[in-house]
């Protein structure tokens, strides 16, 4: 099933005949594109949800949302770290992509602070339903040519 066309009705149909539920489902998941009913339905039948492009492919319009800037100041973290912490507290498996050694270090350092329930809900309520990644041949070709930066190429 293509996750872009997945609907709550599909989950209901699935639950009627499935004997074994999937353990993991990789789903496009960033704070602004939560589909609440679908997410609730998924969480009922699937044990782990893994965020697909957890930082919106690094899209600045996501990373620079005012709520992330506000919380980054409060906790002395970067905006990206606030997004990643939101994923962790939402119990999403999160594997951000980065070729930048400093970002890689930052992306691990999200376990020394905790967002409040109110902050979690403010983030979840951004919900602009915006798509940050629209595949096209140029982008697909750039993935195929992606290389590690020299310091990571061990
Ligand atoms: N199944 C599929 O078809 C598919 C396709 C795409 C991706 N994925 C998976 O999704 C995961 C991540 O995908 P992704 O890399 O495209 O998206 P992503 O993790 O949402 O975003 C990566 C982008 O965020 C930037 N970034 C990372 N850490 C940052 C930080 N601390 N501060 C600011 N910017 C930061 C990176 O730039 P820098 O390099 O400069 O840090 C990069 O441009 C991976 O697990 C990947 O395997 C799967």
pLDDT level of residue 142 (50, 70, 90 thresholds):
confident
Which residue's CA is the closest to the ligand 1 atom numbered 27? 98
- Global pTM? 0.77
Is position 137 within any domain? yes
Is position 135 within any domain? yes
- Model confidence over 27-61: pLDDT tens digits? 666 665 555 666 777 777 766 778 778 888 888 87
Contact 33, 130 (CB under 8 A): yes
What pLDDT does residue 32 have? 55
The number of domains in the chain is 1
Residue 115 has a CB neighbour count (10 Å cut-off) of 19
Is position 7 within any domain? no
Is position 49 within any domain? yes
pLDDT level of residue 26 (50, 70, 90 thresholds):
low
Contact 48, 25 (CB under 8 A): yes
Is position 2 within any domain? no
- Model confidence over 97-109: pLDDT tens digits? 999 999 999 999 9
Is position 6 within any domain? no
The CATH number linked to 91 is: 3.20.20.100
Which residue's CA is the closest to the ligand 1 atom numbered 37? 98
**Structural domain boundaries, residue 126:** 20-152
Is position 134 within any domain? yes
Give how far Cα 96 sits from Cα of 6, 137, 149, Å: 23, 23, 16
Distance 89 CA to ligand 1 centre (A): 19
Which residue's CA is the closest to the ligand 1 atom numbered 13? 53
Q: Does pLDDT of 134 surpass 60?
A: yes
Pocket of ligand 1 (CB under 6 A): 52-58, 78, 80, 95-100, 103, 106-107
């Amino acid at each position: 099933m293509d996750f872009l066309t997945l609907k709550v009705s599909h989950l209901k149909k699935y639950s009627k005949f499935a004997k074994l539920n999937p353990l993991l489902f990789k789903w496009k998941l960033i704070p602004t594109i939560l589909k609440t009913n679908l997410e609730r339905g998924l969480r009922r039948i699937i044990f782990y949800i893994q965020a697909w492009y957890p930082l919106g492919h690094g899209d600045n319009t996501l990373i620079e949302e005012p709520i992330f800037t506000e919380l980054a100041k409060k906790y002395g973290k970067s905006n990206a770290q606030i997004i990643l912490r939101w994923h962790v507290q939402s119990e999403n498996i999160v594997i951000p992509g980065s070729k930048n050694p400093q970002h890689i270090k930052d992306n691990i350092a999200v376990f020394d602070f905790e967002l409040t329930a109110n902050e979690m809900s403010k983030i979840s309520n951004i919900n602009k339903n915006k798509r940050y990644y629209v595949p096209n041949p140029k982008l697909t070709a750039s993935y195929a040519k992606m290389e590690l930066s020299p310091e990571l190429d061990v």
